Amino acid sequence: MSKFKFTVGPWNVHTGADSYGPETRKAIDLETKFARFAELGFSAVQFHDDDAVPNMNNLTEEEIKAEARKVKAMLDKYGLAAEFVAPRLWMDPHTTDGGFTSTSEKDREFAMWRAYRSIDIARELGCDLIVLWLAREGTLCAESKSPVTATRQLVEAINNMLRYDDRIRVCIEPKPNEPIDRSFCGTVGHVMGVSAATIDPKRVGANLESAHAVLAGLDPANEIGFALAFDKLFTVHLNDQNGIRYDQDKSFGVENLRQAFNQIKVLWENRYWEKGYVGLDVKAMRTTSDEDSYEHLKNSLEIFKALEEKVARYDYDYANKLIAERKFEQLEMYTLNLIMGLK
Ligand code: 3MF
Ligand code: MG
């Protein structure tokens, strides 16, 4: 039995389209996904604002809330909670150049409108967390935005959200690049700086995604630990990534088992299960068939739980003795033997 509770987003079961080619699998409706998520053992669902309320740009504020209530009823039917809502500020013609840091004032206003509506939707779904993956808050042309102005715009946008609702928590999911070239908020360290500059730092934290840390050339477990040290790890997006290239969202642990083990180890040592959910942000391969649409989720859960079981049996007395004697060669071999199933 895992100590953790798991969450996933509807976008994690997808049609397989990528930047270079069309769909390879059939689309699956939201309710079918909820039913399967519940069956697989997930406790909650993560949402983009328009996952919950499609076509929201064309609806009034009251209509948006009414649509969100229908989704809440559907979640209840399957015993699922909602974990967070994230404004999707990268798909819309209004956000071609970003949202909160766009060079167009109208677009910045649109981004705030979507952020406020995301808060309304979160309230209707019964959750208090807003995730900001700042997809286009950066530059394609380095000279097109001032990094100083943009950083202040980002802080002000978050302040507006904190003022709009005094219970909502905001959580930045940092990523150093993609789809933009240079991001303004690329690591958990950046998030901590932004958080400290807001009007209520306790309500502003991080969502660390393993792949994004790897893309920044950093160790995901250390990024998780850095956020935990400040009590600012509001959620995680666990997955895997083969080095510094396009964002892959591979199943958790399939690329680097030791790194995956250490992410669970730091979560475990800090009793993260009392603080937040373990979110998976994983994608199926393009070659995956319709009938295997959920296999990558099953695999990620299986790998997480198998490694959690190893973390639970980690011999801290032995490890601490080796640490005191500075026998790190032996400590490394003990850990690797455990991961390899030889201990
Ligand atoms: C991009 C991501 C996103 C975010 C999601 C929620 C598609 O690299 O990781 O997943 O996690 O949009 O904010
Ligand atoms: Mg993510």
Residues 152 and 42 in one domain: yes
- Distance of CA 217 from the midpoint of ligand 1 (Å): 18
Per the annotation, the verdict on 48 as an active-site residue is yes
Per the annotation, the verdict on 51 as an active-site residue is yes
Separation CA 227–CA 208 (nearest Å): 8
Residues 141 and 285 in one domain: yes
- Distance of CA 336 from the midpoint of ligand 1 (Å): 31
Residues 334 and 254 in one domain: no
- Distance of CA 307 from the midpoint of ligand 1 (Å): 24
Q: Is 84 in the pocket of ligand 1 (CB under 6 A)?
A: no
- Distance of CA 314 from the midpoint of ligand 1 (Å): 32
Count of C-beta atoms within a 10 Å radius of residue 126: 13
Sign of CA dihedral 249, 254, 256, 262: positive
Residues 298 and 325 in one domain: no
Residues 246 and 326 in one domain: no
Residues 40 and 77 in one domain: yes
In a domain, 1, yes or no: no
Cα–Cα nearest to 224, from 275, 216, 235: 235
Cβ proximity of 289 and 25 under 8 Å: yes
Separation CA 285–CA 25 (nearest Å): 11
In a domain, 209, yes or no: yes
Q: Is 281 in the pocket of ligand 1 (CB under 6 A)?
A: yes
Q: Is 11 in the pocket of ligand 1 (CB under 6 A)?
A: yes
In a domain, 198, yes or no: yes
**Number of domains making up the chain:** 2
42 CB-near residues (< 8 Å, 6+ apart):
6, 7, 8, 80
**Residue 281 belongs to a domain with what CATH number?**
3.20.20.150
Residues of the chain with pLDDT under 50: none
In a domain, 213, yes or no: yes
Residues 231 and 278 in one domain: yes
**Look-up: residue for tokens 């895992």?**
2
Residues 303 and 320 in one domain: no
Residues 30 and 54 in one domain: yes
Residue type, 136: R
Residues 129 and 231 in one domain: yes
The atom number, within ligand 1, closest to the CA of 135 reads 1
Taking the CA of residue 131 as centre, how many other CA atoms within 13 Å lie in the half-sphere pointing to its CB?
Answer: 28
In a domain, 190, yes or no: yes
At 241, list the tokens: 């990534």
pLDDT tens digits, 195-252: 999 999 999 999 999 999 999 999 999 999 999 999 999 999 999 999 999 999 999 9
Count of C-beta atoms within a 10 Å radius of residue 284: 23
Q: Is 97 in the pocket of ligand 1 (CB under 6 A)?
A: no
In a domain, 284, yes or no: yes
The atom number, within ligand 1, closest to the CA of 178 reads 8
Domain span including residue 329: 314-343
In Å, how far from its chain's centre is CA 67?
Answer: 24
In a domain, 140, yes or no: yes
Q: Angle, nearest 10°, between helix axes 328-340 and 295-312? A: 130
Strand 138-139 with 182-183, pairing: antiparallel
Task: Please report the pLDDT score of residue 193 as a whole number.
Answer: 98
Residues 257 and 176 in one domain: yes
Task: Please report the pLDDT score of residue 343 as a whole number.
Answer: 83
Cβ proximity of 336 and 258 under 8 Å: yes
Task: Please report the pLDDT score of residue 115 as a whole number.
Answer: 98
Secondary structure string (H, E, C) spanning the chain: CCCCCEEECHHHCCCCCECCECCCCCCCCHHHHHHHHHHHCCCEEEEEHHHHCCCHHHCCHHHHHHHHHHHHHHHHHCCCEEEEEECCCCCCHHHCCCCCCCCCHHHHHHHHHHHHHHHHHHHHHCCCEEEEECCCCEECCHHHCCHHHHHHHHHHHHHHHHHHCCCCEEEEECCCCCCCCEECCCCHHHHHHHHHHCCCHHHEEEEEEHHHHHHCCCCHHHHHHHHHHCCCEEEEEECECCCCCCCCCECCCCCCHHHHHHHHHHHHHCCHHHCCCEEECCCCCCCCCHHHCCHHHHHHHHHHHHHHHHHHCCCHHHHHHHHHCCCHHHHHHHHHHHHHCCC
**Look-up: residue for tokens 């100590």?**
3
In a domain, 215, yes or no: yes
Residues 154 and 231 in one domain: yes
Cβ proximity of 91 and 135 under 8 Å: no
- For the question of whether the overall pTM of this predicted structure is more than 0.85, the answer is yes
